[in-house]
Amino acid sequence: MRDLDGPFTAPLDHGLPLAEQLRQRIRAAIESGQLQPGARLPSWRDLAVQLGIARGTVREAYERLVADQLIVASGAAGTHVADTAPPRPRARQIVVPPLAEFDFGYSTAPLPFQVGVPAQDAFPAKLWARISTAVARSDAFAPTTYADPCGEPALRAQIAAYLAVARGLHCVPEQVLVTNGFRGGLALALTTLGVAGRTAWTEDPGFPRTRLGLVAAGLTPVAIDVDDEGIDVEQGIARAPDAAVAVVTPGQQAPLGVALSSLRRQGLLRWARRSGAWVIEDDYLSELQLDGRAAPALASSDRHGRVLHVGTFSKTLSPALGIGFLVAPPALVTRAAHVARCLLPAPARATQLAVAELMEGGHYLRHLRRMKRLYRTRRDAILTRLDGGRAAGLAVLWDLPPGADDRAIATAARERGIAPVPLSLFYTRGARPGLLLGVSTVPEERLEDACAALLRSSMRPRC
């Protein structure tokens, strides 16, 4: 007797007829809550073809479930789980813990002071909707084969042109591999380099997700102090001279906002060349330098092909798009393309084409210009209300008195509907208490309330 048992289904009595096996499978799914009241079941024709059994067998199973009052057949409207079916919690619930105080839920509206997300109200929604609809339509009628795993040629060419003009970085489009944001770029860089099992310099304070990402990729992070010139290269050489990589944010250090000094840049590149190490440049914020001249990309002064430059559209457009890029040094392009082909292909083609269109039409740079002006205004409004606050990238850094518990304050703030991030989260040692306040997420009309909530959470005298 054939049976319907599979790896994801409850064990069935293999001695039973097929229709009964199917009835029991669906019944178990309804009773466990895996199929919720109102959920649509496939037509018996479709399901029969999918399972490779006779239509009459599926129809018989459905009829028994109707008789059990577990499902309702409504003719052309289809077959649904009955609303009267006992709603049950899902049998197995797998809870994935969030990244401490850093995750604020996915696909939700950002809270005031939330860092890392652009201003929702400044996103060119109409323009984006128009461009992406047109792109999706022509893409739907395009030939269906695998998309280029290294990214759409149109977007790679736009990114290369943009980098030459805006970041002083000269590369050919073949060096640009489109990735799923910075995280995809980091994974592609590390896999291309084959450095699992080795050590990596990370900035201290530094972006926690980078540190955790390195660990997830099998590397051992070695925390190197950051001062007002950026990462302390001499300390890195003393602490981990044979590290395989250094992951740095030279443009605007995360979270302190300082640019890597030119002496340190030279030192870092010299160390990489002499020791055969690699530098992964996280250029996540460079387009959004709010004051003065943007620091050049480290990769623009890399004469020996040691820097893997990673950029992202998460801060400039939206993290929900999931688009970023890796610029591989020429000697690594073939290997990176191989990794992209086999393991880490570029994200959805239609989204890439829409971003390319946005760049080609000049809309992207215009959008950046508007965003910078808006963020300066928002940042300055916060700074005038905050004693001791200082600008750091797209955030205001607010030091708390020694001994203050910034994590407890951030948790209390969350209960008041605002989302500062504790500075101590960025440190692996010698943490200074403080709060990182994103400026992009505080529109004028929420400023007073957000500051009042911050003041109450931290019980500081003035905000």
Ligand X SMILES: Cc1ncc(COP(=O)(O)O)c(C=O)c1O
Q: Is 312 in the site for ligand X (CB under 6 A)?
A: yes
The piece of 78-86, 87-95, 312-320, 436-444 that touches ligand X (CB under 6 A) is 312-320
Q: Please give the residues from 90 up to 109 whose contact with ligand X meets the rule CB under 6 A.
A: none
Q: Which is nearer to ligand X, 18 or 184 (CB)?
A: 184
Six token digits for residue 263: 């002496």
Residue 316 interacts with ligand X (CB under 6 A)? no
- Secondary structure E strands in 264-388: 278-282, 307-312, 324-327
What is d(CA 103, CA 446) in angstroms, rounded to the nearest whole number?
21
d(CA 113, CA 397): 11
Q: Does 183 bind ligand X (CB under 6 A)?
A: yes
Residue selected from 62, 128, 271, 284 as contacting ligand X according to rule CB under 6 A: 284
Contacting ligand X within 189-208 (CB under 6 A):
207
Whichever of 99 and 238 has its CB closer to ligand X, that residue is 99
Among 191, 314, 316, 458, binds ligand X (CB under 6 A): 314
Within positions 116 to 145, which residues make up the interface with ligand X, using CB under 6 A? Answer: 116
324 binds ligand X, rule: CB under 6 A = yes
The Cα 453–Cα 432 span in angstroms is: 22
Rounded Cα–Cα distance for residues 228 and 36 (Å): 56
Task: Report in angstroms how near the CB of residue 281 gets to ligand X at its nearest.
Answer: 11
Q: Which among 6-14, 130-138, 179-187, 421-429 is the span making contact with ligand X, rule CB under 6 A?
A: 179-187
Q: Which is nearer to ligand X, 139 or 282 (CB)?
A: 282
Identify which range of 123-131, 178-186, 366-374, 401-409 contacts ligand X by CB under 6 A.
Answer: 178-186
Among 112, 181, 221, 347, interactor with ligand X by CB under 6 A: 181
112 binds ligand X (CB under 6 A): no
Q: CB-wise, 182 or 375, nearer to ligand X?
A: 182
The single-letter code of the amino acid at 429 is: R
The position carrying tokens 């340190």 is 264
Quote the least distance from Cβ 145 to ligand X, whole Å. 28
Q: Which of residues 253-282 bind ligand X (CB under 6 A)?
A: 254, 282
Which H helix or E strand runs over 177?
Answer: strand 176-179
Give dist(CA 115, CA 204) in Å, integer.
18
Give the binding range for ligand X (CB under 6 A) out of 122-130, 311-319, 329-337, 429-437: 311-319
- The CB-of-254 to ligand X minimum distance in angstroms stands at 3
Nearer to ligand X, 72 or 254 (CB): 254
Q: Write out the two tokens for 87.
A: 């709603």
Is the N-terminal amide bond of 221 cis, ω within 30° of 0? no
Among 257, 319, 345, 438, binds ligand X (CB under 6 A): 319
To ligand X, the closest distance from the beta carbon of 294 in angstroms equals 16
Q: Report if residue 375 touches ligand X, rule: CB under 6 A.
A: no
Bridge partner residues of 223 (DSSP): 202
Q: Which stretch binds ligand X (CB under 6 A): 145-153, 181-189, 227-235, 404-412?
A: 181-189
Q: Which of 190, 201, 205 is nearest to 271 (CA)?
A: 201
Tally the C-alpha atoms within 13 A of residue 81's C-alpha that lie toward its C-beta: 20
236 lies in the binding site for ligand X (CB under 6 A): no
- Given candidates 191, 249, 286, 424, which one binds ligand X under the rule CB under 6 A? 249
Closest distance of CB 73 from ligand X, Å? 46
- Amino acid making up residue 436: L
In one letter, which amino acid is 45? R
Query: Is there a contact between 12 and 3 (Cβ–Cβ < 8 Å)?
Result: yes
The pairing of strands 79-81 and 71-73 is: antiparallel
Nearer to ligand X, 25 or 183 (CB): 183
By beta-carbon proximity to ligand X, the closer residue of 175 and 249 is: 249
Residue 411: Cβ within 10 Å count: 13
The span from the first CA to the last CA of the chain, in angstroms, equals 75
Pick the stretch among 58-66, 103-111, 129-137, 180-188 that binds ligand X (CB under 6 A). 180-188
Distance between CA atoms of residues 7 and 454, nearest Å: 51
Question: Nearest 5°: phi and psi at 165?
Answer: -80, -45
Given a contact cutoff of 8 angstroms between Cβ atoms, the answer to whether 112 and 441 are in contact is yes
Give the pairing of strands 278-282 and 307-312.
parallel
Footprint on this chain of ligand X (rule: CB under 6 A): 116, 181-183, 207, 249, 254, 282, 284, 312, 314, 319, 324
